[in-house]
Amino acid sequence: MKVNKKIALVVCALAAACGAYFLIRHLVMTDEARIKRVIYQGKAAVEKKDIEGVLALVSRDYQDDLGLNKVAIMMLFQRAFREFDAIDINLAELRIETNEKQQGHAFLDTWATVRAEDKARYLVGSPEKPCRVVFTLAKEGGSWRVIKAAGVNPEEFAL
């Protein structure tokens, strides 16, 4: 009986330590680090062709200078995911800025390669001439979501 109490005590202590670690990590993480995490989660979701993962990072209030909203973004990505066998996104020189209005900006140089029918090509930018993209993010319910993207024009690539 005493052994069971000791095991239960050790398990409770480990659970408390894990909980404290994640709580402290969440409280200590800066907005810049959270925005960077959103950018890398978006990259991973696109490369996995995970439309739900992509849309989870886009605000329902998304509106860009091209007139695209969240529904248009969804349709654009669905079409790209159907047309391409593989998508590889490269990020370079990621810089994050936040302001007092609970908005953040991610500035990055990027290029994307796609493969379809055993042919590979650059979809956006290239290593020699990357595309300069600016994501504007807003804090919604404690999470950062993209509310605007600038620098990539869907008309530049044929989908």
Residue whose tokens read 């000791």: 6
Euclidean distance between CA atoms 64 and 60, whole angstroms: 12
Where do the domains of the chain lie, and which CATH numbers do they carry? 28-156 (3.10.450.50)
pLDDT in tens, the chain (159 residues): 456 777 777 777 777 777 777 666 656 678 899 999 999 999 999 999 999 999 999 999 999 988 899 999 999 999 999 999 999 999 988 999 988 778 999 999 999 999 998 899 988 888 899 999 999 999 998 899 999 999 887 666 555
Calpha distance 146→65 (Å, rounded): 14
What is the reported pTM? 0.78
